[in-house]
Structure 1
Amino acid sequence: MSDVLDVEQLRSETPGCKAGAHFNHSGASLPSRQTLETIWDYLREEAADGPMETATRAGERLEAVRADAGSLIGASPGEVAFMGSGSTAWGAAFAALPPLAAGDRILVGRQEWGGNLATMQAAARRAGALIEVIPVREDGSVDAAALASMMDERVRLVSLTWLPANGGLINDAAAVGRVARAAGVPYFIDAGQALGQVPIDVAALGCDVLKAAGRKFLRGPRGTALLYVRREFLSELTPSYLDVSSGPIVDGKVEIRDDARRFEASENSPALLLGLGAAIREARSLGIEAVRDRIASLASTLRDNLRSIPKVTVRDLGSQLSGIVSFTVEGIAPTQVRAALSERGIAIGANGVPYTPLDMAARGLDQIARASVSHLNTMSEIALLSEAVADIARRT
């Protein structure tokens, strides 16, 4: 395993590492002390000097966060908006698309996140539009060639969850982008599990919109998210609501901003955004490639360990794999596995059908246990988790 990262130093700077073995980074990871202190320091200043006054002084620092966020994903600052959650970000962009009409088609990946899918289904139902699933390849990943054969003049959107929530698959998002761009169809990427785990270059992906929460592998605070909107695509989007920041009235006329901040509200949390900025700077200083390589190595070891345990089935799909390791234990519900591990000081997740309804239904799964690996994890923690799962399986 690469020793590019000083993992022990990083763990010493992360208070949560002392609380137990954390394998729920795809739910929410552990922020560094620097990120936490950035938030706390701002809140103390806000309490002493007043919230509005402190925010005014922090203006340049907040714009630096926007620039850093853009650099992290290969975007310009004007293509980045800050939102309170990934769901809010995706929903705001989707609601800004031209209204659907009867017979319109939306093409989605089989692993589409349930929140996005619910939003699309509700809109399609109102309009009489159709949602169709892009076929998958033999390894379970999205089939870009099949997508190309589905394109026609009725397709209004292609939507893909890049790294699905229910397993280790990494879809070929760039291949989908090439198809969508050639057809002139808007392309949305849900990069919730990608941000901070794998390198992101929005130009190479060919997407028009990309969203991701800050709390996952990036290790930012909850209540923060990025929304990228390609500058040339902005004119095709009409926000569903405006305020004095995104669309002020000037001389009696509404002037909608000409950048991605047309999706931002004037009210936000500067403390959380500055904390997000600290997390972004840390990720960039480490190098996302080094983070990706360490996560891949640790996750591969965990999968091998789990596959060797009787009654345990690894449920991951794909040829290219992320740090999200999904599995089931025969005779025990994933939520019970999670609870049993929690009693041993090991945190994992457990996902049901609502998270990825199309894929779970296609594979006949109702729940999976989800152990998501970070560069902060160690081989001793991998062994601890593996041994604990083996003990739980023996007791069933």
Structure 2
Amino acid sequence: MTTTTTTPPPAPGFRDRFPALANTVHLAACSIAPRSTDMDHALATMLDNLSHPGFWTACEQQLHEARRRFAHLIGADVAQVAILPNTCVAAYQAVAGLRWRRRPYVVCATAEFPGVAHVWLAQQPRGAWVRWCGTRAGQVTTDDYLRAVTSQTALVSVPAVTYRDAIRLSIPRIADAAHAVGAQVFVDAYQAAGVMPVNVGALRCDYLAAGTGKYLLGLPGLTFLYVRHPRGHLPTLTGWFGRIDPHAHDATALDFPPHARRFETGTPSTAAVYAAIAGLSLIDRLDLDAVHRHTQQLITATAERLTAQGESVRLVAQPEGQGAHLALVEPHTEAMAAWLAPRGIIVAPRGGVIRLAMHAYTTDDDINALCEAIASYRAGSRARQRTGATR
């Protein structure tokens, strides 16, 4: 059996927190996190709290702890972090305060996650125009962004890592270009936070959103929104969590706190909040620089082996431009994913590629199992084609 050679996993014992990995290869963290014992404990705590008086008080404590932990992760102040149900709502909260008469353009890439790009497109009736950069096939570079930013740009939206092909862009360079003409910068860090260092000071962005259901090892249903200047504008989408004192219960008073909680809306998913703390606690155990090196070594080894097997992969030319997953080109993505699943290999099909996501728990044995399974899948496909040809 061919083996790959990488450094040991960056956190001894970390994989043990995910019991299912004993018999499952989970390469789908770019889509959904694997279940951990920490998440199980957090949800059991939530159910226990639900059985006793004071459940909502306990939930509010969890909310504060989740904000605090995420702020620490990205190098922000807790007053700059809001909790929202998903990244689409976070994007809307960032863009809703913009006026388009003098600066009508939003710059974003064709590689943007559709749910975020659709928020920008929905601003067109208000006078906004979307200026696309990159190819129609979803390839984009930092220079594409730099060429698209002009004095008429109001907002630049840039994914920290693109969701399909794992292209990692130079956000500081893009942010500097945007700020030089007076534009703001929104970063979708969903495919980066938790698996590589993300620091808002270094990125120099105005907004950053990251959900908990992927590399942050929590559940779907929760997104953190970082706001560089929380006093900037008053949101038009709001709710009782966006008040100075949510417990005032005054339907006639629309007041906004001076911090990022003004962007919050209604009651969030309590299960996702409890799970978020579990996931962030796990991430806090990691040296994310070491995790990033580990994932890049695994990706390089996987790409070399799959290419040797005759597969086509999309690997960014420069290592610093690669996210934490590898895109395997495959026209029948759902069929391959469905074939791999009962064999204990979980992948993430999307847009003509099979995404193979690495994390701190991913090992050489996982890659060996994946590559051997894909070789078997191809052999079976060729056998089926020969059989069909002889009928």
Alignment TM class, shorter chain as reference: 0.7 to 0.9
Per-residue deviation, 1:318: 4.5
1:170/1:321 contact within 8 Å kept: yes
| d(CA) in 1 for partners of 2:295, 2:105 | 37
Aligned to 1:339: 338
What does 1:1-396 correspond to in 2, within 5 Å?
1-3=6-8, 5-7=10-12, 9-46=13-50, 48-50=51-53, 53-57=54-58, 59-94=60-95, 96-101=96-101, 104-124=104-124, 126-135=125-134, 140-144=139-143, 147-230=145-228, 232=229, 234-247=230-243, 253-310=253-310, 312-319=311-318, 320-329=321-330, 333-352=332-351, 367-394=352-379, 395-396=381-382
* Percent of aligned positions that are identical: 21
**Cα shift readout 1:144-196 (whole Å, capped 9, x = no counterpart):** 4x544544332111111121111232111121111112222010001110010
Aligned to 2:385: none
RMSD of aligned alpha carbons: 2.5
Per-residue deviation, 1:274: 2.8
| d(CA) in 2 for partners of 1:127, 1:335 | 38
Question: Residue type matched to 1:197 in 2?
Answer: V
**Cα shift readout 1:94-113 (whole Å, capped 9, x = no counterpart):** 2x222434981111134211
Compared CA separation, residues 86 and 103, structure 1 to 2 (3 A):
closer
Q: TM-score, normalised by structure 2?
A: 0.86
Question: Residue type matched to 1:350 in 2?
Answer: P
| d(CA) in 2 for partners of 1:113, 1:385 | 26
| d(CA) in 2 for partners of 1:213, 1:374 | 16
Partner-residue secondary structure (3-state), 1:245: helix
Aligned to 1:358: none
Compared CA separation, residues 39 and 130, structure 1 to 2 (3 A):
same
Question: Residue type matched to 1:328 in 2?
Answer: V
Per-residue deviation, 1:58: 5.1
Aligned to 1:362: none
Per-residue deviation, 1:36: 2.0
| d(CA) in 1 for partners of 2:251, 2:158 | 41
Aligned to 1:355: none
The count of aligned residue pairs is 368
**Cα shift readout 1:29-64 (whole Å, capped 9, x = no counterpart):** 113212220121121221x214xx122145445423
**Cα shift readout 1:275-320 (whole Å, capped 9, x = no counterpart):** 212211221222211221211111111111111112x211233422
Per-residue deviation, 1:4: 6.2
| d(CA) in 1 for partners of 2:209, 2:59 | 25
Question: Residue type matched to 1:49 in 2?
Answer: H
2:237/2:265 contact within 8 Å kept: no
| d(CA) in 1 for partners of 2:302, 2:183 | 39
Per-residue deviation, 1:69: 1.0
1:316/1:327 contact within 8 Å kept: no
Per-residue deviation, 1:114: 1.0
Unmatched 5+ stretches in structure 2: 1-5, 383-391
Q: TM-score, normalised by structure 1?
A: 0.85
1:214/1:224 contact within 8 Å kept: yes
1:101/1:127 contact within 8 Å kept: no
Per-residue deviation, 1:328: 2.1
1:242/1:265 contact within 8 Å kept: yes
2:14/2:360 contact within 8 Å kept: no
**Cα shift readout 1:79-98 (whole Å, capped 9, x = no counterpart):** 1111222222223322x222
1:246/1:263 contact within 8 Å kept: yes
Unmatched 5+ stretches in structure 1: 353-366
Partner-residue secondary structure (3-state), 2:32: coil
Per-residue deviation, 1:122: 2.5
| d(CA) in 2 for partners of 1:328, 1:150 | 29
1:98/1:236 contact within 8 Å kept: no
